[in-house]
Structure 1
Amino acid sequence: MINMISGGSTNGDSGRARKAHGRRLENFEVNSQLNCPTDPSISFGREDLKDVVIPHNDPLLVTLTIANYDVARIFVDTGSSVNIIFKETLDQMKLEGFELDPITTELYGFTGHALQPLGQIVLPLSLGNGDQRVTKMACFTVVEAPFSFNGILGRPALSDFRAVASTYHQKLKFPSGREVGVVRGDQKAARLCYVNEVRIDSKKKRREVGMVSIGRTSKVHGQKVLLMYEEGHEKVELIPGA
């Protein structure tokens, strides 16, 4: 389970581009006048806790409109350096006229493990409903991995929409003209996804450390012990505690 994602091509898909991105901050003048939009104030209060089961520590999962599809189970992750859509989700959408662009920069979870994305795709993304709906083009990194989520809304989209998330209030708020748009979280889906993620992670670990090979010579690879035949090997699943 990747709780925080870094890497990707958000700040450039090369070392030179990422260094240039860092230098922009050094050249920034603190007192310079910025052409910032005049947004309405965004705040959270007791009224935002209506229909929220408390106490809780649930993640914020929302339903968003991506390329005219209402996509549920989108994980709002302020720690992710990229927006992510999983390959299985993209395949189900059966989009035409959108191309997958290659990228070389890997993604890294907080454990440091690397994952090579399949590419990236730019799709229209909408937050909110009715008169408060706001639509922008968003770049998604495409990943093929077993996940209970359909996608991850990371810092790039949150910044583009100037959105503010509150996991406690289970809401995502964003400016929509002079008003504040709201996307509500789904606590039930969040808890089901958590259970599924733990199950997926548990099965993955059992597959990695629960198989050994019996043979004439032995090799150690991290937590795996391989006892190799010269002409092949037989795999036997270990039962913990047996």
Structure 2
Amino acid sequence: MVTPAGKRNQGRYCHFHKDHGHDTEECLQLKEEIEPLLRRGLLAKYVKDYRRKKKMEDPPPRAEVINMIIEGLVGGRDSNSTRKSYVLSLRICSIQKKARFSQSITFGEEDLVGVVHPHDDVLVIVGDIADFDVKRVLVNGGSAANVLTWDAFLGLKVPPDKLKIVNTPLQGFGGATVIPEGTVELPVTLGTYSTTVVIVASFLVVKTPMAYNAIYSRPLLNVAGVITSTYHQVLKFPTNRGVGCVRRDRQASRKYYVDSISVRRAPQ
């Protein structure tokens, strides 16, 4: 939704959009354009002390990129002690309770940059699962199980012995019963440096037609303290260094919502 010109803050100017309303330093669209270039090191000569900070700040290189809502029992069944021990074994940091309760998460006009209203788009993001960029990840707080498609599971190159067999059936869109291939625990990273959290999430792996590669559901979102806004097309969460956020995959949300409808109407 674009704010009418007469209501924009004339004291704030964005050189990227060549318009008033917000400052260049706060331009979310500009940040989205710059971030991939920074990761690839293409803007190193324009960033002060870039080479010195790069070793400390840059995330590890991505392994690869992996280019229907399913309802079920709460996935995971992992206790807090199990999750903590698994986190320690992977040397990843769990979110601290202090960060969760000491930060205020809000959504404002700045979060609407690049979002066209009215819309009924679902929130689709590029997920970071097991150090892979996984496209077409649906954020769905209404589902009780994190889901990973079989093809995405294979693409993550997870050792086969990590997949644990389960017999709990899932209910698909059309009412059909789906038996998962198993469940697997994988590290999931939310956000970008330095406001990131890494948690261990349990995914049910399924062989069934879906418009998405994976679904982030209540078990994952609640552990990370995620607050979503489909209106703003963003999810936010507390971290030890401030509020982190993940914005929609701009090209995917509407397209794959339409695809999911097609999958839902397909003959069972």
Give distance in 2, aligned partners of 1:200 and 1:110: 9
Which of 138, 161, 167 is the matching residue for 2:230? 167
How far residue 197 of structure 1 moved from its aligned partner, in angstroms, is 2.5
Match of 2:203 among 119, 136, 140: 140
Task: State the alpha-carbon separation in 1 of the partners of residues 106 and 246 from structure 2.
Answer: 14
Who is 1:68 aligned against? 131
The one of 48, 69, 72 equivalent to 1:6 is 72
Instruction: Return 56-65 or 104-113, whichever deviates more.
Output: 104-113
Does the 8 Å contact 1:58/1:187 carry over to 2? no
1:56 aligns with 2:122: no
**Alpha carbons 2:174, 2:264 under 8 Å: kept:** no
Provide the identity percentage: 36
2:214 aligned residue (134, 142, 151): 151
TM-score (norm 1): 0.69
Considering fraction of residues, name the structure with more helix: 2
Larger of the two Rg values belongs to structure? 1
Q: Specify whether residues 198 and 112 from structure 1 end up closer, same or farther in structure 2 by C-alpha distance, changes over 3 A only.
A: closer
Offset of residue 66 of structure 1 = 0.6
> Residue 94 and residue 4 in structure 1: after superposition, are their counterparts in 2 closer, same or farther (change >3 A)?
closer
Q: How does 1:64-103 map to 2 (within 5 A)?
A: 64-96=127-159, 99-103=162-166
For the Cα contact (< 8 Å) 2:235–2:245, is it kept in 1? Answer: yes
Give the partner amino acid of 1:50.
Answer: V
Residue 150 of structure 1 aligns to which amino acid in structure 2? N
The aligned length equals 182
Which residue of structure 2 aligns with residue 126 of structure 1? 189
Q: Is the 8 A contact 1:107 1:115 kept in 2?
A: yes
Instruction: Decide which structure has greater strand share.
Output: 1
What residue is the counterpart of 2:169 in the other structure? 106
Amino acid of the structure 2 residue aligned with 1:62: I
Q: Secondary structure of the equivalent of 1:48? A: helix
**CA 1:9 to 1:133, structure 2 compared with 1: closer, same or farther past 3 Å?**
closer
Change (3 A) 1:124 1:11: closer
Change in 2 beyond 3 A, CA 1:160/1:8: closer
Amino acid at match of 2:72: S
CA displacement 1:160-184 (0-9 Å, x = unmatched):
1100111000001010114100100
Cα deviation for residue 11 of structure 1 reads 5.2
CA contact (8 A) 1:9 1:105 kept: no
Q: For residue 187 of structure 2, what is the amino acid of its counterpart? A: P
SS of the residue corresponding to residue 84 of structure 1 reads strand
Measured after TM superposition, the shift of residue 113 of structure 1 is: 3.4
- AA aligned to 2:73 is G
For structure 2, the residue ranges without an aligned partner over 5 or more in a row are 1-67, 79-96
Q: Is the 8 A contact 1:117 1:144 kept in 2?
A: yes
The question of whether the paired residues in 1 share the 8 Å contact of 2:187 and 2:200 is answered with: yes
CA contact (8 A) 1:98 1:121 kept: no
TM-score of the aligned structures, taking structure 2 as reference length: 0.62
Asked if 1 retains the 8 angstrom alpha-carbon contact of 2:74 and 2:219, the reply is: no
